[in-house]
């Protein structure tokens, strides 16, 4: 049996009396695209927040690449190869697109300016923003800001890319491009995708984990999840009603 | 580290020519300041020396406030650390200016490193209040040890003691050039810093702290270093002030002297290398001119603060950059 | 001479400080709680209250009680109105941005201070208390003939000081009733909880903010009118009370009224007591450092609850 790329064992998070994530065991093998779905308030963002170190765990253990990263500060996890994109777009509005991406990738290149420039170009081209390199990020449309956010994630060449609701606010054509992009990336890196858009989930995910009320309700392939009655009641039934 | 070196090895891209433009502009300014000493009348010559030292203080403040986005209300404590770190050994231990200046510099590092370490556990409004409180405690401590510091009254550093490397720093021409050297060092340091990778991360923290952390940067460390660089520059200015003008007093540790650099930087333009100098120059002469018809010069400062927050949040140089010179750093 | 009588004296002085401090700090806390801004000019509103009390007393003349009562109404009203003007012309325009508000109120601080200096001057002037009987406090000691009572020299207080304590308690109760039992209080608390929701429910948030800012300043002025017969009015008198009320508000937990009052009593008493043992400067250094460390290590205040 191969070791999982990232895994948790009974990870929990409490906010005061509220239990946002409750003893979650979770494991994703290297190279897999895993979608995490669940109704609002299921604890998805809190859960991935703990994976990347934004939110400290209340209890439990997180392993990445076979190493315990539970108490490792966020910036060190990022440098070990985890990239995270925010649910609510979080870019540098008063800096150019180029500078945004430069910040996200510059620590990888030491003093090799040429390689850095290339990697900036490459990341922006991948999301189709290469023509807008010198614009202020804050002047972009919302959809383009989301794409920039994704470009900043890709530019880090992470081993694990965590995308928190990346298609929210994107137009249909942009969503189609996004699905293609994720499929391309899938071979190179492990991807965790929190997503509300079921079509995107079904089109991209190898496996799906369903969270409900802070617990794992089910894990399986898209077909298995579609057929799972519990999931239908807790989640799908609710949205397709 | 050096941007200009890497610049030479690759085809010039637009942002890097801007870096050069900005560098030439500021070096040109230093040249103008050097030449001014030969044509200025004695009164303004003396004023400008003082303004350059105070502007160095403001530049230190700008590193933290303008570039890193941390608003401190306690920088007088760093200014005073340099002033007393240098002045006390001279007054009581008979040190010469050279080691005393080093002592002032070290005092700046020690005080800013420890205060920064504690204060950075807070953020936002709490950070402002904590720095204010620490500075207040520092001010009171200077008063408490009045036996050595002579409290509010302060102490004079005799002219005979203010001779450094053979130059009598109480003599106007030497004083002017010493102030200009300090000013130039601070200005060039600021420019180098903001164009370095470290400086870019500082600006990134100012723009979006959480994002910067999640891009793999140790935000806390960068902020701490920013406090230390900022505080130490302020301390150097404090030491230079005591050395060049021969006086150290508790007033320089009071809340007012924490507010001044904020005012100068806001007026000139936070996050611009030149802003602190323009702000200090403008405010100095505003008060100088207004004091001919009113003694309540703080009224001018107060009005300036209110009007600035209302109508010119970017400051003079900030507006200039926005409208005319987008390449200014 | 025994120490205990001085502790009693220290406690009474401390309670007077606490009474005035509580009023002033509740004003600051109210502004912070509802509007989420720090008003650095709060000390100047206090000072203005004292100076205006002197002007009113000076103009009206007559029996001290009449001019004092007039000042008690007029000074806070004027200061409150000034604060409302400042709120609508400055703070509202910068959208209550926390940092810009601090800068703007620092500006306001200097303006008020210097205008006072230019009009009222740099003298310290007293206002006569409405009544001021001296009360000596007896003390007991064991002598050879058993327990005996005596009046140590200097151990005494005045009826006015006791009245200040009583009046402050009544005022604080009134504020508590205002906040918890009235519609206005409900509106203020709703705005404090969520500005946007309050607005959605038809509350005029701008008006609430102006009112709260005015009320906060008025409370500072009221505190000053109470203290001015004991302390004299001076244009720089706002500085120390500002720092002390910051301390009180922070220790009490930012924005919590009950915590603020408890902290005021604590600080007032300890200020009175510490100054029995230490020089005032050392007392201030210690108090300032304690507060700073509370802010660093217990950001929600010693008495405050942790927010989730």
Chain C: give the shortest CA distance to residue A128, in Å.
37
Q: Mutate which of A13, A15, A16 to test chain C, going by most C C-beta atoms within 10 A? A: A16
> Chain C residues with CB inside 8 Å of B296's CB?
114-115, 117-118
Rounded average pLDDT over C185-202: 85
Report the pLDDT averaged over residues C3-29.
86
State the sign of the Cα–Cα–Cα–Cα dihedral B99, B102, B104, B106.
negative
CA atoms within 13 A on the CB side of B279: 38
Chains A, B: CB pairs < 8 Å: 63
Query: How buried is residue B11: exposed, middle or buried, by Cβ count under 10 Å (0-12/13-18/19+)?
Result: exposed
A51 in contact with chain B, both atoms CB, cutoff 8 A: no
What is the interface size between B and C, counted as CB pairs within 8 Å? 107
| Cβ contact, residue pair C114, B137, below 8 Å | no
pTM (2 d.p.): 0.82
Please count the structural domains in chain B. Answer: 1
C275, part of any domain: no
- pLDDT tens-digit series, residues A127-142: 888 888 888 888 888 8
- Which among A33, A44, A62, A83 is positioned nearest to A191, based on CA atoms? A33
Q: Which of B312-326, C200-214, C255-269, C291-305 has the lowest mean pLDDT?
A: C291-305
Angle at B260 between CA B257 and CA B261, to 5 degrees: 105
How distant, in Å, are the alpha carbons of A59, A99, A114, B219, C197 from that of B204? 32, 10, 22, 10, 32
Owning domain of residue C111: 14-237
DSSP state letter for A218:
E
Q: To the nearest whole angstrom, how far is the Cα of C246 from the nearest Cα of chain B?
A: 9
Amino acid C254: pLDDT: 67
B44 Cβ contact list (under 8 Å, min separation 6): none
Residue B158: inside a domain, yes or no?
A: yes
Q: For residue B13, give the DSSP letter.
A: P
Measure the CA–CA gap between A213 and A235, rounded to whole angstroms.
Answer: 11
C40 in a structural domain = yes
Contact B65, B279 (CB under 8 A): no
**Chain C environment of B313 (Cβ under 8 Å):** 100
ipTM associated with this complex:
0.85
For residues B22, B25, B30, B34, the Cα torsion angle rounded to the nearest 10 degrees is 170
Token pair recorded at residue B197: 């990778």
The pLDDT of residue B6 is 39
Task: Give CA–CA dist A190/A184, Å, rounded.
Answer: 12
Ranking B2-16, B200-214, C1-15, C23-37 by mean pLDDT, the lowest is B2-16
Tell me how far the alpha carbon of residue A140 is from its chain's centroid. Answer: 22
Least confident of B248-262, C145-159, C166-180, C188-202: C145-159
- Neighbours of B, requiring at least 3 CB pairs below 8 Å, are A, C
Interchain pair B124, C115: CB under 8 A: no
**Within a domain: residue B160?**
yes
Nearest Cα to C249, choosing from C14, C5, C9, C30?
Answer: C30
Residue of B13, B195, B198, B214 for testing the chain A interface, max A β-carbons within 10 Å? B214
How close, in Å, is residue B266 to chain A by CA atoms? Answer: 19
Q: Parallel, antiparallel, or unpaired for β A215-220 and B167-168?
A: unpaired
Domain membership of residue C262 (yes or no) is no
Q: Where are the alpha helices (DSSP H) in chain B?
A: 3-9, 14-39, 42-62, 76-93, 97-119, 124-144, 146-149, 172-195, 197-207, 209-213, 219-245, 255-268, 275-290, 297-311, 315-323
Average pLDDT, chain C: 85
Q: Which two tokens stand for residue C29?
A: 């806390």
Which of B78, B70, B76, B80 lies closest to B126, judged by CA? B70
Give the model's confidence band at A236: pLDDT under 50 very low, under 70 low, under 90 confident, else very high. Answer: low
User: With contacts defined as CB-CB under 8 Å, which chain C residues touch A18?
Assistant: 308
Structure tokens at B204: 């990134």
* Chain C residue closest in CA terms to B130: C292
pLDDT tens across C44-92, in order?
999 999 999 999 998 988 888 888 999 999 999 999 999 999 999 999 9
Look at residue C264 and give its three-state secondary structure.
helix
The DSSP bridge pattern shows strands B247-248 and B155-156 to be antiparallel
Give the span between the Cα atoms of A105 and A124, in whole angstroms: 12
Q: What is the C-alpha separation between C206 and C87, in angstroms, rounded?
A: 9
What is the token pair recorded at B240? 């230079």
The model's pLDDT over A47-85, given as tens digits with 9 standing for 90+, comes to 999 999 999 999 999 999 988 999 999 999 999 899 998
Q: Are A195 and A167 in contact (CB under 8 A)?
A: yes
Count of alpha carbons within 13 Å of A152, Cβ hemisphere only?
31
3-state SS record for A179-198: HHHHHHHHCCCEEEEECCCH
The answer to whether the beta carbons of residues B191 and B273 sit under 8 Å apart is yes
Distance CA(B199)–CA(B68), nearest Å, equals: 9
So what's the pLDDT on residue C304?
54
Q: Judge whether A38 and A235 are in contact, CB under 8 Å.
A: yes
The subunits that touch chain A, with at least 3 C-beta pairs less than 8 Å apart, are B, C
Quick check: is C296 in a domain?
no
For residue C248, being part of any structural domain is answered with: no
d(CA A92, CA B27): 30
pLDDT score, position B2: 40
Sign of CA dihedral C190, C195, C201, C202: positive
Question: CA A135 to CA C163: how far, in whole Å?
Answer: 67
Structural domain harbouring B143: 17-254
Structure tokens at B244: 């060049």
C283 within some domain: no
Domains in chain C, number: 1
pLDDT in tens, C113-131: 999 998 998 888 888 888 8
What does each C-alpha distance from B310 to B148, B228, B264, B266, C57 come to in angstroms?
A: 43, 31, 16, 12, 37
Looking at residue B109, what is its pLDDT? 96
Least confident segment among A7-11, A46-50, A88-92, B85-89: A88-92
- Position A235 scores a pLDDT of 66
Alpha carbon distance C264, C250 (integer Å): 10
Select from C36, C100, C111 the residue whose CB has the most chain B CBs within 10 Å, as the one to mutate to test that interface: C111
Q: Does the structure show a pLDDT above 50 at C308?
A: no
Residue C161 lies in a domain: yes
- What would the mean pLDDT of A207-217 be, rounded to a whole number? 89
* Angle at alpha carbon of residue C209, lines to C207 and C211, rounded to 5°: 70
B37 Cα to chain C: minimum distance (Å): 34
Which sign, positive or negative, has the C-alpha torsion C196, C198, C199, C201?
A: positive
Give the Cα separation of B88 and B148 in Å (integer): 8
DSSP 8-state code for residue C91: I
Average pLDDT of the segment spanning C240-268: 83
Q: Report the C-alpha gap between C252 and B50 in whole angstroms.
A: 43
Q: How far is A18 from chain C (nearest CA, A)?
A: 9
> Would you tell me which residues 84-143 of chain A have a C-beta closer than 8 angstroms to some C-beta of chain B?
84, 86, 90-95, 98-99, 102-104, 106-107, 111, 113-114, 117, 134
Residue of B nearest to A155 (CA): B215
Query: Are C281 and B143 a contacting pair at CB < 8 A?
Result: yes
In a domain, C5, yes or no: no
Mean local confidence (pLDDT), C281-285: 83
Whether C233 shows a pLDDT value over 50: the answer reads: yes
Q: What confidence score (pLDDT) does residue C2 get?
A: 64
Residues of chain B short of pLDDT 70, as ranges, are 1-16, 293-295, 329
Tokens found for residue B129: 């209040």
- What's the rounded Cα separation, in Å, for the pair A142 and B141? 53
Give residue B8's pLDDT: 38
Q: Are strands A33-37 and A207-212 parallel, antiparallel or unpaired?
A: parallel
Residues of A in contact with B199 (CB under 8 A): none
Does the structure show a pLDDT above 90 at C147?
no
Q: Answer yes or no: is B233 within a domain.
A: yes
Work out the mean pLDDT of chain A and round it to a whole number: 86
For position B82, what pLDDT does the model report?
Answer: 96
Per-residue confidence band for C100, with pLDDT thresholds at 50, 70 and 90: confident
CA angle, corner B299, sides to B295 and B301, nearest 5?
A: 115
């Amino acid at each position: 049996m191969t070791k999982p790329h990232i895994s948790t064992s009974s990870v929990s998070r409490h906010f005061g009396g509220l239990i946002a994530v409750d003893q979650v065991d979770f494991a994703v093998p290297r190279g897999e695209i895993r979608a995490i779905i669940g109704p609002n308030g299921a604890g998805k963002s809190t859960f991935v927040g703990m994976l990347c170190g934004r939110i400290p765990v209340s209890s439990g253990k997180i392993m990445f690449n076979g190493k315990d990263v539970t108490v490792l500060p966020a910036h060190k996890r990022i440098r070990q190869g985890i990239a995270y994109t925010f649910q609510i777009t979080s870019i540098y509005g008063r800096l150019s697109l180029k500078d945004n991406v430069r910040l996200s990738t510059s620590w990888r290149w030491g003093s090799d300016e040429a390689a850095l420039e290339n990697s900036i170009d490459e990341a922006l081209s991948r999301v189709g923003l290469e023509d807008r390199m010198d614009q202020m990020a804050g002047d972009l449309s919302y959809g383009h800001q989301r794409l920039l956010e994704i470009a900043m994630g890709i530019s880090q060449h992470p081993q694990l890319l965590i995308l928190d609701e990346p298609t929210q606010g994107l137009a249909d054509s942009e969503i189609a491009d996004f699905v293609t992009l994720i499929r391309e990336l899938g071979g190179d890196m492990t991807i965790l995708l929190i997503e509300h858009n079921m079509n995107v989930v079904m089109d991209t995910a190898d496996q799906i984990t369903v969270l409900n009320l802070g617990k794992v309700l089910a894990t399986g392939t898209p077909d298995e999840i579609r057929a799972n009655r519990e999931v239908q009641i807790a989640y799908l039934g609710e949205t397709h009603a | 580290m050096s941007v200009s070196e890497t610049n030479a090895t690759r085809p010039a891209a637009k942002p890097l020519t801007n870096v050069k433009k900005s560098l030439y502009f500021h070096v040109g300014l230093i040249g103008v300041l050097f030449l001014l000493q030969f044509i200025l009348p004695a009164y303004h010559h003396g004023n400008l020396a003082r303004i350059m030292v105070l502007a160095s203080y403001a530049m230190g403040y700008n590193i933290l406030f303008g570039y890193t986005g941390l608003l401190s209300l306690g920088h007088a404590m760093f200014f005073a650390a340099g002033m007393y770190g240098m002045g006390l050994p001279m007054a009581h231990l008979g040190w010469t200016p050279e080691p005393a200046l080093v002592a002032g510099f070290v005092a700046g590092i020690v005080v800013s490193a420890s205060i920064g370490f504690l204060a950075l556990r807070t953020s936002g409004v709490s950070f402002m209040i904590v720095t204010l409180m620490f500075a207040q405690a520092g001010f009171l401590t200077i008063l408490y040890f009045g036996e050595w510091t002579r409290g509010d009254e302060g102490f004079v550093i005799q002219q005979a003691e203010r001779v450094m490397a053979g130059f009598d720093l109480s003599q106007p021409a030497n004083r002017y050039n010493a102030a200009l050297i300090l000013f130039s060092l601070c200005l060039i340091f600021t420019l180098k810093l903001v164009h370095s990778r470290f400086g870019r991360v500082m600006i990134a923290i100012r723009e979006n702290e959480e994002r910067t952390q999640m891009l793999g940067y140790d935000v806390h460390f960068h902020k701490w270093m920013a406090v230390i660089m900022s505080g130490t520059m302020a301390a150097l200015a404090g030491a230079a002030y005591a050395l060049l003008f021969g006086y150290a007093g508790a007033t320089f540790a009071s809340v007012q002297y924490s507010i001044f650099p904020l005012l100068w930087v806001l007026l000139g333009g936070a996050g611009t290398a030149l802003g602190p100098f323009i702000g200090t120059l403008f405010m100095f002469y505003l008060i100088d001119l207004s004091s001919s018809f009113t003694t309540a010069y703080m009224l001018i400062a107060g009005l300036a603060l209110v009007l600035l927050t209302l109508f010119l949040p970017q400051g003079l140089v900030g507006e200039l950059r926005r409208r005319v010179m987008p390449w200014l750093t | 001479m025994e120490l205990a009588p001085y502790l009693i004296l220290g406690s009474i002085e401390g309670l007077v400080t606490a009474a005035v401090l509580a009023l002033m700090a509740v004003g600051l806390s109210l502004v912070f709680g509802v509007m989420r801004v720090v008003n650095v000019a709060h000390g100047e509103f206090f000072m203005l209250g004292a100076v205006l009390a002197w002007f009113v007393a000076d103009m009206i003349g007559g029996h001290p009680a009449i001019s004092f009562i007039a000042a008690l109404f007029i000074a806070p009203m004027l200061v409150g109105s000034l604060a409302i003007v400042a709120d609508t012309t400055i703070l509202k325009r910068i959208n209550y941005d926390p940092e810009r508000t601090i800068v703007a109120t620092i500006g306001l601080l200097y303006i008020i201070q210097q205008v006072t200096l230019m009009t009222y001057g740099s003298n310290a002037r007293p206002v006569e208390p409405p009544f001021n009987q001296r009360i000596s406090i007896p003390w007991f000691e064991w002598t050879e003939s058993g327990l005996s009572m005596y009046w140590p020299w200097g151990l005494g207080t005045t009826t006015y000081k006791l009245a200040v304590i009583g009046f402050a308690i009544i005022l604080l109760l009134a504020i508590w009733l205002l906040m918890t039992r009235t519609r206005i209080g409900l509106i203020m608390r709703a705005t404090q909880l969520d500005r946007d929701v309050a607005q959605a429910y038809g509350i005029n948030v701008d008006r609430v903010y102006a009112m709260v800012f005015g009320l906060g300043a008025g409370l500072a002025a009221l505190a000053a009118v109470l203290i001015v017969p004991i302390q004299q009015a001076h244009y720089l008198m706002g500085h120390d009370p500002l720092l002390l009320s910051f301390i009180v508000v922070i220790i009490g937990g930012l924005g919590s009224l009950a915590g603020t009052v408890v902290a005021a009593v604590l600080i007032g008493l300890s200020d009175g007591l510490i100054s029995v043992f230490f020089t005032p400067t050392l007392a201030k250094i210690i108090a300032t450092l304690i507060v700073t460390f509370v802010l660093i290590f217990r950001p929600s205040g010693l008495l405050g609850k942790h927010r989730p």
